[in-house]
Amino acid sequence: MQVISSKENEIVKNIRKLKEKKYRDLENCFIIEGIKLIKEAIEEEAKIKQIVVCEECINKGEFEKDLLYEIAKHDVIYVTEKVFNLLTDVKTPQGILAVVEKNNVNNEIDYSEDIIVVLDGVQDPGNLGTILRTADSANLKQIILSNDSADPYNPKVVRSTMGAIFRVNIIEVDNLKEKLEEVQQNNFKIMVTSLEAKKTIYEADFNKCAIVIGNEANGVSKEIQNMANEKVIIPMLGKTESLNASVAAGIMIYEYVRRKMG
């Protein structure tokens, strides 16, 4: 077993570059890390280009035999702990990461779904990852993402998705207004949350609906609000005036789930 011990190794340098968005875009790849995400990637048949394993973790017997058997089917490289620490993005790494090709081949909207979640300038990686995870939990297969939102392949986003990154089609768009006009032409209404709305989410019709979740600080942009077919409010009984973007998305998505089950 050959073990890479130099940070100047070309493979190591190329993987390190993927910490930056411009290189993730250029290579159309991103990094996943940790045993659970690696297992998810294998189970979901993600396009794993390379798996990196810390030699010391192998020697300590920290990986299950089943996992070692599965990763052996891929291109695996072994590195020293010192080199692995240059590649990892977490404080307490588990000693395994992988380079995965982005699942962004299909940029077309599936209009057979009941609802479509749309993110308008959601910039916090944790919020974005949580929304993807929530959408996946409701069996939603796609999310439309404006170009001023956080990078969905940011390591923090990827970790927050808990594997949903492999199951949800992320449709990144340059012009959100134009894309939502297309959505309307396909008989979907645009629903936005607004503090000025008279109708609550419990009175709204969620059938064939694109639910827009706005920026953490400013909410849904004026441009998108102006084209909305329906404006709704999430009722709050306390003094807080607004909710965290991922919490608001969760409430909206699970109001849809409640009706679907009923």
Which of 79, 101, 123 is a domain's end point? 101
Q: In this structure, what CATH number is given to the domain that contains residue 256?
A: 3.40.1280.10
Q: In this structure, are 123 and 39 located in the same domain?
A: no
pTM of the model: 0.92
What's the structural domain count of the chain?
A: 2
Distance CA 134, CA 137 (A): 5
Q: In this structure, are 11 and 91 located in the same domain?
A: yes
Q: In this structure, what CATH number is given to the domain that contains residue 17?
A: 3.30.1330.30
Structural domain of 179: 115-261
Residue ranges with strand state E in 55-95: 76-79
Cross-strand partners of 79? 4, 54
Phi and psi, residue 120, nearest 5°: -105, 90
Q: In this structure, are 121 and 176 located in the same domain?
A: yes
Q: What is the pLDDT along the chain (262 residues), one digit of tens a residue?
A: 678 889 999 999 999 999 999 999 999 999 999 999 999 999 999 999 999 999 887 777 678 888 888 999 999 999 999 999 999 988 888 999 999 999 877 788 999 999 999 999 999 999 999 999 999 999 999 999 999 999 999 999 999 999 999 999 999 999 999 999 999 999 999 999 887 888 999 999 999 999 999 998 888 999 999 999 999 999 988 888 778 899 999 999 999 999 988 7
Residue given tokens 């974005």 in the structure block: 128
Q: Comparing C-alpha atoms, which of 246, 247, 262, 4 is closest to residue 129?
A: 246
Q: In this structure, are 43 and 157 located in the same domain?
A: no
Instruction: Give domain status of residue 136, yes or no.
Output: yes
Q: In this structure, are 31 and 123 located in the same domain?
A: no
The total of other beta-carbon atoms located within 10 Å of residue 16's CB is 15
Instruction: Give domain status of residue 248, yes or no.
Output: yes
Q: In this structure, are 33 and 132 located in the same domain?
A: no
Instruction: Give domain status of residue 108, yes or no.
Output: no
Rg of the chain, C-alpha, whole Å: 21
Cross-strand partners of 30? 100
Q: In this structure, are 165 and 223 located in the same domain?
A: yes
Q: In this structure, are 202 and 143 located in the same domain?
A: yes
